[in-house]
Amino acid sequence: MRRNCAAALALLLVTVGCALGVTKNLSRSDRCPPQYPFEYLDQAHGFRICVPRGVTKEAAADYPIGSIRFRGFRVPAKTNLKSKQLVIVAGDYDLLRNATAFGKFRANGVTFTRAKFEEGSAGHLDRHIVYTWKHGKNAVHFDFEYRSVNIANFDPASRPVEYDRAAQIKLTEQMMRTFQPL
């Protein structure tokens, strides 16, 4: 009986946590702005960054060893943008070999180089905007991936609206402004 009660209580806590948008493996921080209330602290690579409510952190198994993925970013409704994620990769990042320079971005005294690249097929497009922080001989890459579907594959009556790429980049830049070296 006690085991069943304990299991039911654990399930209830997980359910309530999900309903409230609790962010797994992250901590709420007063150093973060209200729109990005959770802090990811990376002591090994010497930085912290704030992320929005509702994202989850996990190992990114399909990226270089030690990479971290954040999923669960909100995307605009009724658009062709289906998901947005952030992958943090330390060291060499092979995907940048096919990338195009996309200027520089400065936040909190740190200058990031930016690059962009796309991959996909007739049905979908993955657009990557990558912010690279170089400190000494080390580099950390913040890869924001936008996964969208091709609107041409829908009948005009049910076709989603093309998402606003500039608005999504602006949101990304807001989040990158929370970056702080340790």
Architecture of domain 25-181: Sandwich (2.60)
Residues with Cβ within 8 Å of 110's Cβ and at least 6 positions away in sequence, in order, are 133, 179, 181
53-67 burial, b if ≥16 CB within 10 A, otherwise e? bebebeebeebeeeb
The reported pTM is 0.82
Amino acid letter at 9?
A: L
> CB of 70 within 8 A of CB of 84?
no
* E runs forming strands in the chain: 27-28, 38-42, 47-51, 56-59, 68-71, 81-90, 100-107, 110-120, 124-135, 138-149, 180-181
Rounded distance between C-alpha atoms, residue 136 and residue 123, angstroms:
41
- Give the list of residues 6+ apart from residue 21 with CB closer than 8 angstroms, or none: 53, 54
| pLDDT tens by residue, the chain, 182 residues | 544 443 333 333 333 333 333 344 577 888 899 999 999 999 989 999 999 999 999 999 889 999 999 999 999 999 999 999 999 999 999 989 989 999 999 999 999 999 999 988 778 889 999 999 998 888 999 999 999 998 888 888 888 999 999 999 999 999 999 999 99
Residue 36 tokens, joined: 């990005």
Structure tokens at 43: 């002591």
Torsion angle in degrees (nearest 10) through CA of 12, 16, 18, 20? 180
